[in-house]
Homo-oligomer: A and B are copies of this chain.
Amino acid sequence: MPVEESEACVVGVDYGTLSGRAVVVRVSDGAELGSATHDYPHAVLTEALPDGTPLGHDWALQVPGDYVEVLKVAVPAALKAAGIDPADVIGVGTDFTACTMVPTLADGTPLSELPAWRARPHAYVKLWKHHAAQPQADRINDLAAKRGEAWLPRYGGLISSEWEFAKGLQVLEEDPEIYAAMDRWVEAADWIVWQLTGDYVRNACTAGYKGIRQDGHYPSPEFLAALNPDFAAFVAEKLDQPIGQLGDAAGTLSAQAAEWTGLPAGIAVAVGNVDAHVTSAAARALDPGQMVAIMGTSTCHVMNGAEVREVPGMCGVVDGGIVAGLWGYEAGQSGVGDIFGHYVDNLGAEWTHERLTELAAAQKPGEHGLIALDWHSGNRSVLVDHELSGLLVGETLATRPADVYRALIEATAFGTRKIVETFTAAGVPVREFIVAGGLLKNRLLMQIYADVLNMPLSVIGSEQGPALGSAIHAAAAAGAYPDVRTAAAAMGSVDQALYQPSPDHAAIYDELYAEYSTLHDYFGRGTNKVMRKLRAIQRKVSA
C-alpha cells in the first residue's frame, strides 16, 4: 500500500472552555494515534482582567493569546505522542466554543493585545458564557417580535444574550471607543483559522447559529438602527465576511502557523467549526433524527433534519449548519456538569462525585422525594432565559446530600426530555439519542437519562469526540474523502443502544416529569417571575 494512503493523518484541535486538545488521527480508519492538551494560562476571567481591572456581574472573558499557545504546545506534543512523521499530516481542522467573540483590528490583531486597550474589559474575548448582555438580548428580542422579523422563528422565537449581536451591542453601548476601534467582530472559531491560514473566512455554522444569518442575510440596517442608531452599520462594518462551508478548506497552513505547530506549511486547513457540531461527525450521527448530546459542564444538542421547521426554544436551525445539504438544528442546556460540580464544591471535603454517585445509585427513582429545576446557569432550551435560576422542592429534615445529587442529575435529564419532546412535537422527530462528552462516564447518569427519556442511549466511541470530529473535517477539507458524511462513516464510531430504559423506572419518571413540567412552565414561562425579580433585587442591592 502506498505510503500516502496507509499513513496519511490529520490533526484535529478542539478548543474548549478551559483548554485546547490536539489529536492526531489516521485518515483511513479514524484511529487516534496521539493527543495532548494545553490549559489556557488565563483560564476564564470572571472577576478581573489580568491587570486587576474588576469585571461586572455575569462577565466571562478570555485572552486570545492562550488559543495560540495551544497551537504551539498541544499540536507538537500530540505529534510526538503519535510518533508519526509530521510530513504525513495532510490537513488540520479546528472546533471552538461558541458564541465566543474576539474584537480585532482589520488584520485580526485582538484589541486586548494593544497597549492602549489592555485595561478595557470590552477589548477582551467574550466567552460563550459571558451573560452580561442580557439587557441587549431582551431589547433585540422585543424589537424583533414587534417588527415580526422573519429570522426570529429560526431561533425558536428568542435569541440569546450569548450571541454575536447582543454581545456586540453591549460593546457599543458600554464602551463606544472600543466599538469604534474594533474593525472586526470575529468568532473565535474563525479567528483561530485566520491565525492558521492568514485569511479570514467566516464559517457557515456560527454565522447561522450565532450571527443570525438566514437565507444569505443578516438582520437589516433598519432593524439595527432601531436598536441603537450607532449600531446600524454593525453588519456591514464589523461582521460581514465571505462564508465558508463546513468541511471545505478555508485555506492552507501559513509558514508562521507551520512554525508554531510543526506541521507542513501548505496543508489544508478546514473552515472553522463548533465543538458540538463536529462531534456529530465523530459519532457517525449525521442522518436526520439522530440527536447528539455533548454532555459536559453544559450540554449541546445537535441534529440534522431534512426540512426546516420552527422548533420553539431551539438555539437555531441553519442550512448546512452541521453538514452540507441538511438543516442543522441546535439546542442546549446551559448548566449540567457545572451544576453537579457546584453542589459538590459547596459540600465539605468528605464528599466526592464518586461517593455521591454510589449512594445515589442505591436509590429507586422517586425515593428521595425531590424535584429540581436545572437552571443554575439559566435555561438555554427551550426557554432561552438566562435570568432563570435553580430550584429544589421537597427537601425535608431527612434529605441527605446523595438525594439532592440524584435530583440534580434527574433535573438535567428532565431538561433534556423537554428538548426532545419539543423537537418531536414541532415535526422534527428524535429517533436516536447519542451521548458524547465527559458525563458519559457516569453510568448512573446514563441510566437515569435512558429511564427519563424512555429511549435507548447510544454512546460515541471516541473519548475525544470534538477533536476527532475536527480531524474528520480536516480529512474532508484535504480531499481524502469526497465529503464529511463519507469521512464520518469511515472515521467516526458509536456504540448503539448501550443503555436500555427500565419500564418500571420510566413509569415513575413519567410521574415526576409531569411535576417537573408544571414547575418548568410556572417559573419559566412568566406565570411567576420570582427568578427575574430575585436577580433584579440582587443587582439593586449590590450596586
Chain A positions within 8 Å of B, measured between CB atoms, are 335, 338-339, 342, 346-351, 364-371, 376-377, 389-397, 399-401, 508, 511-512, 515, 518-519, 522-523, 528, 530-531, 533-535, 537-538, 540-542
Contact = CB atoms under 8 A, between A and B. Distances in A.
Contact of A392 (B364, B392, B519, B533): B392
Nearest first, the 6 A-B pairs at minimum CB distance are: A348-B348, A390-B395, A369-B538, A366-B537, A366-B541, A394-B534
Nearest to A393: B391
Given A394-B390, A396-B389, A397-B339, A537 B511 contact: yes
A422 to B, nearest CB: 22
A396 B367 contact: no
B530 A367 contact: no
Contact of A393 (B368, B530, B537): B530
A537 B346 contact: no
Contacts of A342: 397, 399
B368 A396 contact: no
A522 B515 contact: no
A534 B391 contact: no
A335 B351 CA distance: 26
A377 B396 contact: yes
A528 B538 contact: no
A58 to B, nearest CB: 9
Contact of A531 (B377, B394, B523): B394
A518 B368 CA distance: 26
B518 A530 contact: yes
A381 B121 CA distance: 51
Given A512-B537, A518-B530, A519-B530, A396 B371 contact: no
A515 B541 CA distance: 16
Given A351-B348, A392-B391, A401-B346, A530 B515 contact: yes
Contacts of A534: 366, 369-371, 393-394, 515
11 contacts: A348-B348, A366-B538, A368-B538, A371-B534, A376-B397, A390-B392, A391-B395, A392-B392, A393-B523, A393-B530, A515-B534
Contacts of A364: 541-542
Contacts of A376: 395-397, 399
A17 to B, nearest CB: 13
Q: How many copies does the complex hold?
A: 2
A160 to B, nearest CB: 17
A369 B371 CA distance: 20
Contact of A538 (B367, B523, B538): B367
Nearest to A401: B346
A167 B370 CA distance: 27
Nearest to A57: B398
Given A369-B538, A389-B395, A394-B535, 11 more contacts: A342-B397, A342-B399, A346-B400, A348-B351, A366-B534, A369-B389, A376-B396, A391-B395, A508-B541, A511-B537, A518-B528
Given A511-B537, A533-B515, A367 B542 contact: yes
Given A369-B534, A530-B519, A542-B367, A390 B396 contact: yes
Contacts of A394: 389-391, 530-531, 534-535
A232 to B, nearest CB: 35
Contacts of A530: 371, 393-394, 515, 518-519
A430 to B, nearest CB: 27
A215 to B, nearest CB: 37
B522 A508 contact: no
A364 to B, nearest CB: 5
A279 B53 CA distance: 56
Nearest to A351: B348
Nearest to A365: B541
B511 A522 contact: no
A334 to B, nearest CB: 10
Contacts of A512: 537
A81 to B, nearest CB: 34
A194 to B, nearest CB: 32
A265 to B, nearest CB: 43
B518 A522 contact: no
A341 to B, nearest CB: 8
Nearest to A363: B541
A390 B338 CA distance: 23
A378 to B, nearest CB: 8
A283 to B, nearest CB: 28
A346 B346 CA distance: 10
Contact of A349 (B338, B348, B395, B531): B348
Contacts of A508: 537, 541
A463 to B, nearest CB: 26
Nearest to A395: B390
Contacts of A349: 348, 350
